[in-house]
Structure 1
């Protein structure tokens, strides 16, 4: 996992925890929207990381 994917994963977790800590009866809050955005960016970072091939043999 790349550093950017790990960062987006942590941000998504933190915003989800913040949503559950602050919102009791509301359905949509700003931390929940941020959680969805960071989750989507996490998935995109994982996909982008898989397309870059790393050749460990130096020629």
Structure 2
């Protein structure tokens, strides 16, 4: 896992915990939206970190 993916994972977890700790009654808050954004960025960082090599044989 790359450093950026680990950073996004930590940010997603922290913002999710902040949502549940501070806003128990509200459904959608800024920390919850941030959690979703950081989770998407985490998945994108994981995909980008795989360094997939595509070498088709074209004849």
Q: Which protein has the larger Cα radius of gyration, Structure 1 or Structure 2?
A: 2
Q: Pick closer, same or farther for the CA change 1:12–1:3 going to 2, 3 Å.
A: same
CA RMSD of aligned residues (A): 1.2
**Alpha-carbon offset, residue 24 of structure 1:** 1.3
Q: Pick closer, same or farther for the CA change 1:3–1:52 going to 2, 3 Å.
A: farther
Secondary structure at the residue paired with 1:48?
Answer: helix
Alignment of 1:1-59 (within 5 A): 1-51=1-51
Secondary structure at the residue paired with 2:36?
Answer: helix
Which TM-score applies when normalising by structure 2?
Answer: 0.85
Which TM-score applies when normalising by structure 1?
Answer: 0.85
**Alpha-carbon offset, residue 30 of structure 1:** 0.3
Give distance in 2, aligned partners of 1:17 and 1:25.
14
Gapped regions of structure 1 (runs ≥ 5): 54-59
Q: Figure out how many residues of one structure are paired with residues of the other and give that number.
A: 53
